């Protein structure tokens, strides 16, 4: 899917995003921002709190397409032109999400949580569950846990379930927000190994997945883990706000 433009899955040029505060003043959060994420690569976005990482992630993942200026192409699609329903379909088809606090649906069991994207895609329940079970076994989640509610699993297991849910639809891009932020060292290592496995080319995804990770953790900067690193750096400090720019570090 990402072959058309040198495997580029996400292509952002000159992005500008601003908000109005409660006094009606305009606050620029993102400005002249360029960003690229390629298939089969892990791209890291780093930066301090409040620099605009979440805002950027919302835009890249098509949750928010109301930016002021610039262009955002995801899978060669200008996301600005998508309406709410198209965005939902687009996310279901092309994008997977991994969240810091797992964000599993507490009312659904592990199997149901994993199968949701496939069900939303239109697959039959049996097909969706079969695929989910295959991945759960691949990620070493024992059968006994499949019918359990998410809260009955350990943090590491919950995050693995989150990863399965993110990849079960065979997306082209996965956005991960502090994927190991809430995990202990052992669980973090396991999850990181799983993340590295994610991007590898498969039958369904010959170019591999583009994995975009937003993190504070410097270990992701290492060459052996990531292919590309972007960092929000301070641009200028005005009287009451600090402005950041996104710099392509590597």
Residues that bind other proteins in the complex, under the rule CB under 8 A = 53-54, 57-58, 61, 63, 84-85, 88-89, 91-93, 97, 99-101, 103, 105-108, 112, 116-117, 119-122, 124, 165, 169, 177-178, 181, 214
Residue closer to other proteins, measured from CB, 34 or 103: 103
Residue 22: CB minimum distance to other proteins, A: 12
Q: How far apart are CA 123 and CA 130, in angstroms?
A: 11
Q: Which residues contact 104 (CB under 8 A, 6 or more apart)?
A: 110, 113, 150, 158, 161, 162, 165
The per-residue DSSP string of 31-71 comes to: EEEEEEEETT-EEEEE--TTSSHHHHHHHHTTS----SEEE
Given the complex with other proteins, which of 199 and 213 has the nearer CB atom? 213
Q: Which is nearer to other proteins, 40 or 177 (CB)?
A: 177
Least distance (Å) from other proteins to the CB of residue 143? 22
d(CA 221, CA 98): 19
- Give the total residue count for the chain: 250
Helix, strand, coil share (%) of the chain residues, nearest 5: 35, 30, 40
In terms of CB distance, is 119 or 245 closer to other proteins?
A: 119
* H or E element at residue 108: none
CB of 84 to other proteins, least distance (A): 5
Going by their DSSP bridges, the two strands 77-78 and 69-74 should be labelled as antiparallel
CB proximity list for 42: less than 8 A, separation 6 or greater? 195, 196, 199, 211, 213, 220, 225, 226, 227, 228
> Between 92 and 241, whose beta carbon lies closer to other proteins?
92
d(Cα 127, Cα 130) in Å, to the nearest integer? 5
Please, what is the minimum distance in Å from the beta carbon of residue 223 to other proteins? 26
Nearer CB in complex with other proteins: 178/189: 178
Minimal distance, residue 239 CB to other proteins, in Å: 26
Q: Decide whether 182 or 233 has the Cβ nearer to other proteins.
A: 182
- Nearest approach, Cβ of residue 162 and other proteins (Å): 11
- Minimum Å gap between C-beta 148 and other proteins is 16
Cα separation, 250 vs 241, whole angstroms: 27
């Amino acid at each position: 899917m990402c072959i058309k433009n040198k495997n580029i899955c996400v292509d952002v040029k000159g992005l500008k995003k601003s908000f109005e505060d409660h006094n009606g003043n305009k606050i620029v959060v993102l400005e002249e921002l360029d960003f690229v994420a390629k298939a089969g690569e892990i791209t890291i976005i780093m930066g301090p709190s409040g620099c605009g990482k979440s805002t950027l992630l919302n835009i890249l993942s098509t949750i928010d397409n109301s930016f002021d200026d610039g262009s955002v192409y995801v899978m060669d699609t200008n996301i600005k032109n998508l309406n709410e329903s198209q965005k939902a379909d687009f996310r279901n088809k092309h994008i997977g999400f991994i969240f810091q606090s797992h964000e599993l649906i507490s009312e659904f069991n592990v199997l149901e949580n994993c199968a949701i994207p496939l069900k939303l895609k239109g697959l039959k329940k049996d097909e969706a569950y079969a695929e989910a079970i295959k991945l759960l076994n691949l990620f070493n989640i024992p059968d006994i846990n499949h019918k359990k509610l998410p809260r009955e699993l350990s943090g590491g297991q919950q995050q693995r379930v989150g990863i399965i849910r993110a990849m079960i639809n065979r997306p082209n891009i996965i956005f991960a927000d502090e994927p190991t932020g809430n995990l202990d060292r052992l669980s973090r290592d396991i999850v990181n190994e799983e993340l590295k496995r994610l991007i590898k080319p498969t039958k369904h995804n010959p170019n591999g997945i583009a994995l975009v990770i937003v993190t504070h953790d410097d270990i992701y900067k290492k060459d052996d883990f990531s292919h590309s690193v972007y960092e929000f750096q301070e641009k200028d400090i005005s009287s009451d706000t600090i402005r950041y720019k996104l710099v392509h570090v590597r």
